Amino acid sequence: MTAATPARIAAPSCWRVWTFGALVLAVGLVAARPSHAQLRVDISGVGATQYPIATADFAGDAQGQAVAEIIRADLTRSGQFRLVNATGANLNAESPIAYDEWRNRGADYLAYGSISQTGGQYSINYRLVDSVRKTQLDGVAFAGSEKELRRISHQIADRIYEKITGVRGVFSTRIAYVLQTGNNYELQIADADGQNPQVMLRSKQSIISPAWSPDGKRLAYVSFEANKPVVYVQTLATGQRVPIANFKGNNSAPAWSPNGQQLAIVLSRDSISQIYTINADGSGLRRVMRSPLIDTEPTYTPDGGSLIFTSDRGGNPHIYKVPVSGGDAQRITFSGSYNISPALSPDANNLVYVTRRDGAFRIAIQNMGSGSEQLLTAGPDDESPSFAPNGMQILYSSVQGGRSVLAVISVDGRVRQTLSALNGKVREPTWGPFTN
């Protein structure tokens, strides 16, 4: 291997390609501009446990059907719910519920509600009941404009998911990814279901390695507009961005600390890729450790005390752990001979990464306590795994049927989603944090 550092062009590529080409075209900044490249969702598999639920159209306004359809789609995508037909239900938020009737239909749970409009503002009242225990589990009122109805629908689905499973839902979170169409690159954010995409940055040059800040208000990423890779931080609400790492050589692989005050980055300023930390305003650069070989792809542990990273210090790329303060690195992957692109679950119990097995790049998950590994995908070219903020699903990029797509898989490997772009290559995905 050479001494040149890779940024994460795509997870396996960062170890297959060790030099950057000069990309010298113009970059354009776009403030939350809608994109026409909607993502289509295909689902396969079901969870080990499926909760039977009926979701009735919300009464009182034509938008009530659309709200219910978004909720039903969210629950379906999780693979943990079996939808019971609610056709013919004539319910509003104040309706008495015939629990036995819904139980006889096969629905252990029923979601329903009302929606009304006054002067461009909508009021949504939602209820969730348990037809077995014959009790109400949840009831909340929401208000918002027509543009906010999709977000509110996702929030209702999150509440249903949490009330029934005991785990916080992620339907109202967002994802970020890079869409390449020809020689054009767009940094986009979208709802977790791939809908409502917005362009945050448009460029004729590569954009790679997007990383969400813990509060979901900023993205760090690498752009090639300066004729080399430079790390930027961009505020999503305003579009304002600043370069925080533009040192000699390559600047790559940003990862936020849990408190949002620092980032881990990879620099080749001393001729070989090494890991540094830097304050979010670009001050306070500090080298974490010194290694004779390449260290890259850092990510913080949830407690902020350590970094998980990829290194070839053992002869082949494997995943290691080191205190943020520096010191000796501990190797944590031993299966196979090629493991890269680590991501740690929010509870720190599971590590997901890209592994090469029999020539195919696949997503694997390892239990941090036992060290046991499970291969989640078959490849041949799966990259950039990222945990959902509740740790229940993993977002990654994949090549399926010759097309570049985003995919989601449950941590047990049972439920799969494919988010297909209508055109172009979609890659470098990262799942955003909880924001409320």
Same domain, residue pair 234 and 135: no
Strands (E), 182-338: 184-191, 198-203, 207-212, 218-223, 230-235, 241-245, 251-256, 262-267, 274-279, 286-287, 295-300, 306-311, 318-323, 330-331
Same domain, residue pair 19 and 78: no
Instruction: Give the per-residue pLDDT at 7.
Output: 35
The answer to the question of residue 29 being in a domain is no
Instruction: Give the per-residue pLDDT at 120.
Output: 87
Structure confidence at residue 61 as a pLDDT band (50, 70, 90): confident
8 Å CB contact between 220 and 176? no
pLDDT digits (tens, 9 = 90+) for 197-242: 999 999 999 999 999 999 999 999 999 998 899 999 999 999 999 9
Structural domain count of the chain: 2
The answer to the question of residue 420 being in a domain is yes
Whole-number Å distance between alpha carbons of 176 and 103 = 40
Structure confidence at residue 423 as a pLDDT band (50, 70, 90): confident
The answer to the question of residue 186 being in a domain is no
Instruction: Give the per-residue pLDDT at 282.
Output: 95
- Looking at per-residue pLDDT, the higher value among 210 and 44 belongs to 210
Instruction: Give the per-residue pLDDT at 112.
Output: 97
Instruction: Give the per-residue pLDDT at 349.
Output: 97
The answer to the question of residue 262 being in a domain is yes
Same domain, residue pair 308 and 402: yes
Give the residue from 133, 149, 165 where a domain finishes. 165
Same domain, residue pair 145 and 275: no
Give the residue from 165, 192, 225 where a domain finishes. 165
Same domain, residue pair 262 and 319: yes
Same domain, residue pair 214 and 157: no
Same domain, residue pair 232 and 87: no
The answer to the question of residue 180 being in a domain is no
Residue 121 sits in a domain whose CATH number is 3.40.50.10070
Q: What is the mean pLDDT of residues 304-316?
A: 95
Instruction: Give the per-residue pLDDT at 419.
Output: 82
Same domain, residue pair 224 and 364: yes
Same domain, residue pair 227 and 296: yes
Same domain, residue pair 286 and 360: yes
The answer to the question of residue 38 being in a domain is no
8 Å CB contact between 55 and 111? yes
Instruction: Give the per-residue pLDDT at 2.
Output: 33
Residue 349 sits in a domain whose CATH number is 2.120.10.30
Determine how many CB atoms are found less than 10 A away from the CB of residue 18: 14
Same domain, residue pair 160 and 215: no
CB contact set of 402 (below 8 Å; sequence gap of 6+): none
The answer to the question of residue 354 being in a domain is yes
Same domain, residue pair 411 and 277: yes
- What one-character-per-residue DSSP string does 122-150 give? EEEEEEEEETTTTEEEEEEEEEEEGGGHH
pLDDT digits (tens, 9 = 90+) for 379-398: 999 999 999 999 999 999 99
Whole-number Å distance between alpha carbons of 351 and 339 = 11
Instruction: Give the per-residue pLDDT at 12.
Output: 37
The answer to the question of residue 138 being in a domain is yes
What are the tokens at 168? 């916080």
Q: Is the pLDDT of residue 416 over 60?
A: yes
Residue-range definition of the domain harbouring residue 65: 49-165
pLDDT digits (tens, 9 = 90+) for 110-140: 999 999 999 889 999 999 999 999 999 999 9
